[in-house]
Amino acid sequence: MKKYLLIFVLACFSTSIFAQQQNYELVVNVNKVGAKVQPYMYGLFFEDINFGADGGLYAELIKNRSFDFPQSLMGWTTFGDVTVKNENGPFDRNPNYVRLSDAGHGHKHTGLENEGFKGIGLKKDATYRFSVWARTIDSNTTQKIRVEFIDANNNPFERKELEITSSEWEKYEVVLTSPKEEEKASLRIFLKSEGSVDLEHISLFPTDTWKARENGLRRDLVEALDELNPGLFRFPGGCIVEGTDLETRYDWKKSIGQVENRPLNENRWHYTFDNRLFPDYFQTYGMGFYELFLLSEDLGAEPLPVVNAGLACQYQNEGEHCHVPVGELGDYIQDALDLIEFANGDITTEWGKIRAEMGHPEPFNMKFIGIGNEQWGPEYPARLEKFIEAIRSKYPEIKIVGSSGPQAEGKDFEYLWPEMKRLKVDLVDEHYYRSPEWFLNQADRYDSYDRKGPKVFAGEYASHHNNRKNNLESALTEAAFMTGLERNADIVHMATYAPLLAHVDAWQWRPDLIWFDNLRVARTPNYYVQKIYAHNSGTNVLPITWNKNPLTGQEGLYASSVIDTDKKEIIIKLSNASEETKNINISLDGLKRKMRIQPALEYTVLTGEKDLENSLENPKAILPKTSVKTIMGTNIEVDVKPNSFNMFVLKYTD
């Protein structure tokens, strides 16, 4: 027994000696101020997937408000005498409307009820603007409708009446106040008079939208985006740029102008995965290009719109016949040129004038345009070349983003990169949805990229754990990988996680950066990684080394460092992907004589059990923690936890 005790004590002793010996001396070369980190390096990729726009960011609460879904009453339950009509409606591109007529007898009811997007979320004491385009059928009568909120148990709890006074189409509005919180309410409309009335574009918005705009966006969701401090905003996708066929591609010109007359488009995510079928998912374009440019501006992010390259989604279409022939690209190229004019042209230009009429006479100052999404094969460069010729000749200052296809390596990728170089695009959009291991292994991905060609836009990426959850492990592997983006900021100019948003009751794809329901928002651990990087991107790269080498995964460690010459900060990011605590010593080398490091060190750490997630019920299960420590001199000594992402911010004076 004594013998075993002795062995145990010796083992413990030797482990602790061993632990003490594991000392990692990291050096930051403060005098080697390297590449500029682009102010738009960390951004957002937005697509109407997972109810990201309709049913999500776009604050409209009524589904199928214009009765123009292919099943014209989808989302509506009718009772009494209700018919769908389409002659002489007020909006030619959304022709349908409903006629409500007295059901007779005096006791029978006519009306209809809307189920919203997986219910209508109402907040206690909040106000909601109901609006409708309406007319009476008989010019001598005034008709009355009653509008009410119904809770999940079928009880009405707020009502208002409206008089329809004209036989001409007019817009009517009334504001309702919700006396209680209800996640899955519905909206019911009764005909309260004895005649007939026509109703079109039935709409309900919270008055408390982002910046209190009518036709606005959900405030809590925009706040979550704003909090990320994004430098870039890519829109409107993703695959919806391409469309299942060219007819259903995202057509930006249909997404602007009077909101009631923007024609409905299908949303390919409604049927892309038949195990995640959402037959009620369409694009109203209510949040169209004007609203998306405005959102970029609000967020202080560079807008990066992407247009169709004359190619329908290549996953769903094989062969040249599915696409626009190279010689017939004229309209598509004109769409790209007109888009630049819409964003930047002065108000005397055709498209600049439309922007001004919509409320924004100042240009949006767009600098980038993406041509095509995830394209591949010779079809793509053949078309891209034509766009490039036209854009370069009219707008040489605009930077063009090409694509390296849907894969991060392999045949198509190897073919497209040289093609992108040949065509001299400014940036190449790379996509990678890969395992956590892949992300860890790829931290040195960009170390050997050709510095003379186009820059890199990591346009869609996410660490896909085998359970596809937004757990801490996935976030930590992204954080480790991103040290590689940051170290290579001379070539990597932009990076956007994807997808951005997902409704818990209506998602098609996961993981996603932000989850929400009709009332609540949950920020994932991945969100906090993005937030840490975007708030601490610095102005220039500084080398950080261990044994004179960059840390790209040796012993599970990954590191990058930047200096912010405006805020006067030296920022070090360090991931420990191992299962051991690491004793780290970071020293600053080459400090200029006048540079004084402040003793207060800001230390942020994201760590915990690898499978932890944030949910709507428990949105703060995993959060980064920031503390202030005092350092002596210029050395940081710290025990870095296993499975952790760490950031150190040192302030200096000079």
Element (H, E) at 136: strand 127-136
Do 543 and 28 form a contact (C-beta atoms < 8 A)? yes
Catalytic residues: 374
Question: Letter for the amino acid at 627?
Answer: S
Characterize the bridge pairing of strands 596-607 and 644-653. antiparallel
Q: Cβ closer to ligand AHR: 342 or 481?
A: 481
Token code pair at residue 470: 């937004």
Size of the chain, expressed as the number of residues it contains: 654
Taking CB under 6 A as the criterion, the residue among 499, 511, 525, 550 binding ligand AHR is 499
Characterize the bridge pairing of strands 368-371 and 302-307. parallel
Q: Which stretch binds ligand AHR (CB under 6 A): 132-140, 233-241, 601-609, 646-654?
A: 233-241
φ and ψ at residue 269, rounded to 5 degrees: -75, -10
DSSP 429-441: EEEEEE-HHHHHH
Q: Which residue minimizes CB distance to ligand AHR?
A: 238
Q: Cβ closer to ligand AHR: 48 or 68?
A: 48
Q: Cβ closer to ligand AHR: 499 or 550?
A: 499
Q: Where are the alpha helices (DSSP H) in 543-633?
A: none
The answer to whether 238 contacts ligand AHR (rule: CB under 6 A) is yes
Q: Cβ closer to ligand AHR: 13 or 273?
A: 273
Q: Give least dist CB 52 to ligand AHR, A.
A: 10
Site track for ligand AHR across 29-68, x = CB under 6 A: ------------------x-x-------------------
Q: Give least dist CB 144 to ligand AHR, A.
A: 46
Q: Cβ closer to ligand AHR: 148 or 266?
A: 266
Q: Give least dist CB 270 to ligand AHR, A.
A: 13
The answer to whether 381 contacts ligand AHR (rule: CB under 6 A) is no
Taking CB under 6 A as the criterion, the residue among 182, 374, 412, 478 binding ligand AHR is 374
Segment 399-428, which members bind ligand AHR (CB under 6 A)? 406
Q: Give least dist CB 239 to ligand AHR, A.
A: 4
The answer to whether 200 contacts ligand AHR (rule: CB under 6 A) is no
The answer to whether 266 contacts ligand AHR (rule: CB under 6 A) is no
Q: Cβ closer to ligand AHR: 178 or 373?
A: 373
Token code pair at residue 59: 């604050």
Q: Give least dist CB 50 to ligand AHR, A.
A: 9
Q: Which stretch binds ligand AHR (CB under 6 A): 134-142, 235-243, 383-391, 515-523?
A: 235-243
Taking CB under 6 A as the criterion, the residue among 148, 419, 460, 613 binding ligand AHR is 460
The answer to whether 373 contacts ligand AHR (rule: CB under 6 A) is yes
The answer to whether 509 contacts ligand AHR (rule: CB under 6 A) is yes
Q: Cβ closer to ligand AHR: 182 or 374?
A: 374
Q: Cβ closer to ligand AHR: 403 or 576?
A: 403
DSSP 269-331: GGTSSGGG--TT-EE--SS-HHHHHHHHHHHT-EEEEEE--S---TTT--SGGGS--GGG-HH
Choose among 464, 452, 458: nearest CA to 422. 452
**Rounded CA separation 645/473 (Å):** 11
Q: Give least dist CB 203 to ligand AHR, A.
A: 28
Q: Give least dist CB 252 to ligand AHR, A.
A: 17
Q: Which stretch binds ligand AHR (CB under 6 A): 100-108, 168-176, 237-245, 420-428?
A: 237-245
Q: At what angle do helices 330-344 and 379-394 cross, to 10 degrees?
A: 40
Greatest pairwise CA separation for the chain in angstroms: 107
The answer to whether 312 contacts ligand AHR (rule: CB under 6 A) is no
Q: Which stretch binds ligand AHR (CB under 6 A): 183-191, 196-204, 231-239, 540-548?
A: 231-239
* Bridge partners, residue 540, by sequence: 36, 563
Q: Give least dist CB 380 to ligand AHR, A.
A: 14
The sign one gets for the Cα dihedral 532, 289, 56, 209 is positive
* 196-206 β-sheet, strand order: 81-85, 97-101, 196-206, 127-136, 170-177
DSSP 7-71: HHHHHHHHHHHHHHH-EEEEEEETT---PBPPTTSEEEE--S-TTSTBTTTB----TTTTS-SSS
**Rounded CA separation 429/237 (Å):** 12
Q: Which residue has the tokens 């045949």?
A: 411
Taking CB under 6 A as the criterion, the residue among 425, 498, 572, 631 binding ligand AHR is 498
**Rounded CA separation 519/381 (Å):** 44
Q: Give least dist CB 526 to ligand AHR, A.
A: 14
**Rounded CA separation 43/370 (Å):** 15
Q: Which stretch binds ligand AHR (CB under 6 A): 70-78, 234-242, 385-393, 579-587?
A: 234-242
Taking CB under 6 A as the criterion, the residue among 237, 345, 372, 405 binding ligand AHR is 237
Chain residues that interact with ligand AHR, rule: CB under 6 A? 47, 49, 237-239, 373-374, 406, 460, 498-499, 509
